[in-house]
Amino acid sequence: MSVAAASFAIFAASQVGTPGPANMALLATGARYGLRRAMPFVFGVALGKQLIIWPVGFGLMQLADSAPWLFEALKWASALYIIWLAWRVANLRLNTNTEAKAPGFAAGLIVHPLNPKAWAMVTASFTAFTTADTPSLEATVTIALILLGLQLVLHPIWTYGGERIARSVAGRPAEKYLMWTLAALTVASVLFVLFAGGK
């Protein structure tokens, strides 16, 4: 096989399962609304990465060579959006209104396309785990399915973790410190991708 599927799966699990803007958003959403109400958002986040994988798999990165300024501008715009989300997370309180509407599928769908870590990870997936002669369809389908499978397992775990944390701190003085910590981790993960070249 011209895609190193086993090695890629290990790499992908390490990326999907570790803190980043998307997982911080899932954690905060689970903490605010609970896993059950957050599931449309979770599915949106999982499928949103496909909006990156397929264009990259079929040559989007060639555009980066001819118009690098465009990708640089998109990277910074995405980072600003994630930082704005982090500000909202910092000011959330977990038990304010249990009838408030949870973010839905569409809100989750745009998380990864606006996530610099997701772009870096998907680009690395194609450059490091496929051979030069791999057909685009084969490489893209393999990477897309492995990532989707991992996300459908790991994203709900992050969301449920947020729900469990909320049960412990909601309405207590530790609540605001937790939300600020989640926001700080989100911003730190974006800055790491921007300035340290993290995958």
Radius of gyration, CA atoms only, the chain: 17
Tracing tokens 């769908």 back to the chain, one arrives at 109
Q: Parse the chain into domains and list their residue ranges.
A: 5-194
Residue 4 structure tokens:
């190193």
Q: What's the pLDDT tens digit per position in 14-39?
A: 888 877 788 888 988 888 888 999 99
Q: What's the pLDDT tens digit per position in 101-132?
A: 888 999 999 999 888 778 878 887 887 788 77
Distance (Å, rounded) from C-alpha 78 to C-alpha 64?
A: 16
135 phi-psi bin (left φ>0, alpha ψ -120 to 50, beta other): beta
Please give the pLDDT value at position 125.
83
Predicted TM-score (pTM) of the model is 0.74
Phi, psi (degrees; rounded to nearest 5) at 132: -60, -30
**DSSP SS3 for 130:** strand
Q: Is residue 198 over pLDDT 50?
A: no
Least confident of 33-37, 81-85, 181-185: 81-85
Q: Do 21 and 189 form a contact (C-beta atoms < 8 A)?
A: yes
Distance (Å, rounded) from C-alpha 156 to C-alpha 166?
A: 15
Q: What's the pLDDT tens digit per position in 47-62?
A: 999 999 999 888 765 6
Q: What's the pLDDT tens digit per position in 126-158?
A: 877 887 778 888 889 999 999 999 999 999 999
